[in-house]
Amino acid sequence: MSRRNRPLPNYEKVEITDAAAEGKCIARIDEKVIFVPFAAPGDVVDIQVVKKKRSYLEGRITNFHTYSKQRREPQCSHFGLCGGCKWQHISYDNQLINKQKQVKDNFERIGKVQVGEFLPIIGTDNEYYYRNKLEYTFSDRRWLTTLDTPKEEGGPQETNGLGFHLPGMFDKILDIEHCYLQKEPSNEIRLAIKAFAIEQGLDFFNARNHEGFLRNLLIRTSTIGELMVIVVFRYDDLDVKELLKKIEGKFPEITSLMYVINEKQNDTIWDLEVKLFKGKPFLLEVMKSPNSNPDLKFKIGPISFYQTNPEQAYKLYSTAYEFADFKGDELVYDLYTGTGTIADFIARSVKKVIGIESVEKAIEDAKENAALNDITNVEFFAGDMVKILNPEFLSINGKPDVIITDPPRAGMHEKVVKQILLAEPQKIVYISCNPATQARDISLLSEKYDVVKSQPVDMFPQTHHVENVALLIKR
């Protein structure tokens, strides 16, 4: 038998030792690491290897011998199939412990930098229903699970579904009954739209053939009770207005009802016209300000970015604010400013804030939000960070006293790190949604900076994701 056709091994009574990347856990077998989904540290299990790589293995649990003390019963009936909430089976206290360890390991193993103090992770009061935005997909190929009765035995005669993509499957949708991520009426709206669409015989999208009428559903909420619903159709039709009228009548609490016609091959709508059917073209969000300043107001349009967990976002920004310890006379650069939420959050406590962001639409939103809050000491620039943040820019706008940087998951380009080193701010407050790339960047910055402290913040309960704020002080 060739090596290629040799069956992959099954290992018995293996102890899961630790949490790892992408929500998986790890065990060690014959000095090799094996990554296992839906495990918990402390489980003793049998593992069937499903993939063999040169330096690691991937496997799945086939049998439990001992259940970890970290385990609990998942609340969601879709757990294990849906691509989100992969840690629902781990108690929340242990989720926090694992996330704290993840941050520390990244700094010590990837960054190889000394951190003055690792502060205990800031958890949330709301493990569930914390997201202010969800996007669902219509599909005529919903995934039939083992819980479904076969068609031959009187089971589902149609396969229309409205839910989330199954991991790794662009054309298969897991039909969702109840999602624990967004508060009501999110589930009620989704189920009502699906029921009406099936009742009226509306075609659900087929991603393989690029056919069908109904494509996507977006639901956004704000902490002050505003509600935005966007329905995405493949083409315009009399049924568009009929469906929207049905939604309007059943859910009068919707403050922004909108729709999009998307004829493209992909689901993105940022480059398409979002049409208003009823209400306002934006949501209003309110966030408390630091230092007893007036509350901040933010207009959130249909494609605007805003932190998806607003309650924890306040804790995240407050941590960054405390780390910066502003005296009132600072020039601050806010890198990757997005729609200017951090810039506005700190503006009343400093001399001036300069925000830089690559997405022009985000900068338009940032300017509008600053005006909405009567904040006049902010200035925003749109463009590629690598090209904008250069010696000429520093010469014209002044060298910053403090830099706050909140880059995407990929972290900062090495050229941006070098420009920060040239700018030599006294303090850098680095906010990251990926402690691995944060640790990599901070390793480069350690040429001139000491890492004084690190503060993880849990923005996404039930997942392995964690935000981290690090304070760097120039030596």
Catalytic residue set:
433
Contact 71, 89 (CB under 8 A): yes
Of the chain, the end-to-end C-alpha distance in Å amounts to 62
Choose among 138, 282, 290, 270: nearest CA to 216.
138
Contact 33, 56 (CB under 8 A): yes
Q: How far apart are CA 432 and CA 448, in angstroms?
A: 20
Contact 410, 402 (CB under 8 A): no
Choose among 467, 466, 470, 462: nearest CA to 90.
462
Side chain identity, residue 187: N
Strands 331-335 and 402-405: parallel
Task: Read off φ and ψ for residue 474, nearest 5 degrees.
Answer: -70, 135
Sheet with 18-19, side-by-side order of all strands: 10-15, 44-52, 56-66, 32-36, 25-29, 18-19
Q: How far apart are CA 192 and CA 186, in angstroms?
A: 10
